[in-house]
Structure 1
């Protein structure tokens, strides 16, 4: 189909989706989760075709990579979404006016949600499960790096929809071309919301070019501050997990900020990173402290560009500060509003940090790797919003609904 025809059919499918019961939606998701496991080999074969076209040293390779375990995790998240209560039809406000009019504010779907994403084929299943459960039609615009994977995933989704007698146009896969992106961002007659998932360049492009409403997600320049009252054992675990669990994801640690009085503990805090060959870009004080205690082949002098960089790789910047206030200044200058962390045993310092840091997720003695819809109990996520208008943080079912007012009367007229 031509792109405009996909848009038209998606808009028409919204009306049909409104009449599908929540139980029927959950049945579809459970059946799809079963098929993901059943047809695992076919899905992995499609993914392998994409992987062969990408350099394994590319930071996006890990995002593109699917494994049997990752597919099992996707299926598990989908079953979780199926088990969640419907986010629709919830009355969030109700009142009766003096004239007898009864007002109810009720949650409803957005309608058609377009999602633009890069080499992350898991997004295809996550977005469909959340949109379908919440009564939204989804239009998927993946990157060319994941073409084979995305096509195989959407084909499987449509197979399940066909078996269940549901309009196949509740999900649409757009061509992985710049032209399709431009058409999606300009489809004001058909698309109710666009969500970009990817790096800063993609998000900036969408924000500048979109004529449809946009929720920004994804770009994460993540900092962790080791306070003068930080516990070293906690610091070792938190820093290592935040940096090395998965370096290519948006919640991975990019900069360790350390209080000057705790520089002597820096080699121990960074020791677990050696096994992962993490390159450290350290300021002068941190470099002097680490020299001789961290492999010279992995130790670099920091530059201005080291801070505010989302590495998406086994790399970490280190910044020394004289105070909590200076750490807050650093985050205010270089952070992206995604996830920030403080490691401290001082409750007052923690509360000041959590109150003053302007980010969607602010942690105390826990790694930023937990910023994830599934980890937050949302089943999955359609993205992690870093903006303030509308949803913020991991976006699950509730975050991709809006509301309308329902008004009931008995013939009242306005004077």
Structure 2
């Protein structure tokens, strides 16, 4: 197995250097990374083709995450350039004050240090994570899944080369090439070197990391997301939002998995919304009342209400009230993203206050839960916990605070 202790030591050394870089140096390096990705696009696609060939037996939703195209490489390059344009959170003080003893206290943003990322079949995570950790003054140790190992190795080698070309520490980004469970477990126990570990992937991976890791973990990702159509919901708006949230990219964590609908409008609008979903290839699974309205639905099981499909599947439930919808969501949600469709904004605000999720929408698709859409640039993940960070995690969420205190000889009496 790879020597993670050595990787950790190199990461710590690089972290001390990266934390002191100027914003200009970091931005220049990110732009150099983007340029190299574009110049070596053929090399990246060739490596990705090997991974795709090895992934033929995988479900289509995983292959979609794994596959790179000219446009997806361009998107990664543009993501690096966009992060270079964002404000540097470590180049600022949050606030300052003088105490009664005459001490000047300044609160400033500082990097977290060495960040570990465990992720599955999305090679773009290698680039996004590098961009955000580097710009915020951190370094990263990446551990991707075996399905994307060729692509990840190619991408990380190019990112490291770009840093070396700028005379900056290559070990600001390292990739664990051993994709065994042993290497993942070892990373979760790298207490002497890792400051925080962030899992990116499905519920199984996230829960394994949360239960196994002895290093601090930021829980991210799993998205059993709901859309609730309230009484008087506008039909055209409801149909457009539900279809977008389910089918635009069903394999991602902010895709809607469940549709709840108020019994006052279910008979009127559910048949057409169901047909629109079916026309896009969605398999519908309904409770008894939903199936009475749309018999083509398969019966929903108890397990369906807690399942994140990441696929063209959606479960549908008819509810009697706003209160029932909220109670169902809070019981079954992964606390990621939920939406209500209603013309009554007061009821929308009740939904936003009472639903216990990181992102709660009124009259908009859950697909907007994304660092780029929120204006954060590329994101490190969507935090579904409440400590330190919640929701899309951009640059600011990869920093902590430090107090700098200056006196002129004060002693405490």
TM-score interval (norm. to shorter): over 0.9
The residue matched to 1:379 in structure 2 has which SS?
coil
Partner of 1:267: 271
Partner of 1:72: 74
1:98-137 equivalences under 5 Å are: 98-137=100-139
Equivalent residue in structure 2 for 1:185, among 163, 188, 207: 188
CA contact (8 A) 2:105 2:406 kept: yes
Partner of 1:91: 93
Structure 1 stretch displaced more, 78-87 or 64-73? 64-73
How far apart in 2 are the matches of 1:160 and 1:29? 8
Residue by residue over 1:291-323, the C-alpha shift from the partner in whole angstroms, topping out at 9 and shown as x without a partner, is: 2xxxx4xx3111111111100111000011000
Q: CA deviation at 1:13?
A: 0.8
How far apart in 1 are the matches of 2:398 and 2:275? 42
Residue by residue over 1:2-47, the C-alpha shift from the partner in whole angstroms, topping out at 9 and shown as x without a partner, is: 2211110100111111232111111111111122222222111111
The residue matched to 1:287 in structure 2 has which SS?
helix
1:6-405 equivalences under 5 Å are: 6-54=7-55, 55=57, 57-174=59-176, 175-264=178-267, 265-291=269-295, 296=296, 299-405=297-403
The residue matched to 1:403 in structure 2 has which SS?
strand
How far apart in 2 are the matches of 1:77 and 1:172? 19
Q: CA deviation at 1:385?
A: 0.1
How far apart in 1 are the matches of 2:43 and 2:264? 55
How far apart in 2 are the matches of 1:38 and 1:336? 40
How far apart in 1 are the matches of 2:179 and 2:84? 29
How many residue pairs align between the two structures?
409
How far apart in 1 are the matches of 2:342 and 2:324? 15
How far apart in 1 are the matches of 2:28 and 2:373? 23
How far apart in 2 are the matches of 1:413 and 1:56? 66
The residue matched to 2:360 in structure 1 has which SS?
strand
Partner of 1:410: 408
Q: 1:56 to 1:69 in 2, by over 3 A?
A: farther
CA contact (8 A) 2:223 2:336 kept: yes
Structure 1 stretch displaced more, 329-338 or 41-50? 41-50
Q: CA deviation at 1:56?
A: 5.3
Unmatched 5+ stretches in structure 2: none
Q: How large is the Cα RMSD of the aligned pairs? A: 1.1
How far apart in 2 are the matches of 1:275 and 1:27? 47
How far apart in 2 are the matches of 1:336 and 1:98? 46
How far apart in 2 are the matches of 1:94 and 1:228? 49
Unmatched 5+ stretches in structure 1: none
The residue matched to 1:216 in structure 2 has which SS?
coil
Q: CA deviation at 1:77?
A: 1.5
Structure 1 stretch displaced more, 55-64 or 211-220? 55-64
Q: CA deviation at 1:270?
A: 2.3
The residue matched to 2:372 in structure 1 has which SS?
coil
Structure 1 stretch displaced more, 330-339 or 260-269? 260-269
Moved over 4 A (4+): none
How far apart in 2 are the matches of 1:408 and 1:170? 32
How far apart in 1 are the matches of 2:397 and 2:340? 27
User: TM-score of the superposition, structure 1-length normalised?
Assistant: 0.97
The residue matched to 1:243 in structure 2 has which SS?
helix
